[in-house]
Amino acid sequence: MRRVCVFLGSNSGNRPAYRAAATALGTALARQGLGLVYGGASVGLMGAVADAALSAGGEVIGIIPQRLVDKEVAHPGLSDLRIVQSMHQRKALMAELSDAFVALPGGVGTLEELFEVWTWAQLGGHAKPCALYNVEGYYDQLLGFLDHVVDEAFMKPAHRDMLLVAEEPGALIERLRAYQPPNVTKWIADRHR
């Protein structure tokens, strides 16, 4: 594992713990020699994770669509800032450059990015780990819903277990490094045919 892609809010949220967690993860990645790939913004939690990784001497690659550069939210001090034309290109390049994916607190964009790479993994498109950094229980209700998805036979338990969860950066990085993808098919036998 050389680089970790982090999906997280371009806002900071209500709790100081969210920014502290982004800072802690950026610092931990850099100290463990792992590059950070993220959305390229200087604002919110995105700016916090990048600033922390840079301050700790880490490689930080930002990928941002031109329309967000035009709104002056691009981070000016990254190791590498790549400007793309669309969100689709952004996500594809983030996935290509990364060996693992982590979601911190964020909004629908954060969820959409995580769910896309997790879906690709479930379908066998890659074998890279996907994880939630569950700061102060931010994702507890989502995790409960995912258990409900399994209970209702729309996902196998092995695929649910593909989504790693940790509450602090050291444990999160350890889980990413130890990840082994399951060897099961996605489809569940139809019980009602």
Q: What is the pLDDT of residues 138-191, one digit of tens each?
A: 999 999 999 999 999 999 999 999 999 999 999 999 999 999 998 877 677 766
CB-based contacts of 64, cutoff 8 Å, min separation 6: 39, 40, 41, 73, 74, 81, 82, 83, 84, 90
Q: What is the pLDDT of residue 72?
A: 79
The token pair that represents 41 in the structure block: 């913004």
Instruction: Answer whether residue 184 is part of any domain.
Output: no
Element (H, E) at 5: strand 3-7
pTM: 0.94
Element (H, E) at 110: helix 108-122
| Whole-number Å distance between alpha carbons of 159 and 189 | 15
Q: What is the pLDDT of residue 120?
A: 94
9-23, 28-42, 66-80, 84-98: least confident range: 66-80
The token pair that represents 37 in the structure block: 């790939």
Q: What is the pLDDT of residues 51-103, one digit of tens each?
A: 999 999 999 999 999 999 988 789 999 989 999 999 999 999 999 999 999 99
Question: What CATH number does residue 103 fall under?
Answer: 3.40.50.450
Range of 91's domain? 3-178
Instruction: Answer whether residue 191 is part of any domain.
Output: no
| Whole-number Å distance between alpha carbons of 81 and 185 | 37
Instruction: Answer whether residue 183 is part of any domain.
Output: no
Q: What is the pLDDT of residue 88?
A: 94
Instruction: Answer whether residue 190 is part of any domain.
Output: no
Assess contact for 104 and 8: CB atoms under 8 A. yes
pLDDT value at 193 more than 70:
no
| Whole-number Å distance between alpha carbons of 60 and 54 | 7
Element (H, E) at 38: strand 35-38
Number of domains in the chain: 1
Query: Cα separations (Å) of 163 from 21, 41, 66, 159, 172?
Result: 19, 25, 31, 8, 11
Using CB atoms within 10 Å of the CB of residue 1, give its burial: 0 to 12 exposed, 13 to 18 middle, 19+ buried.
middle
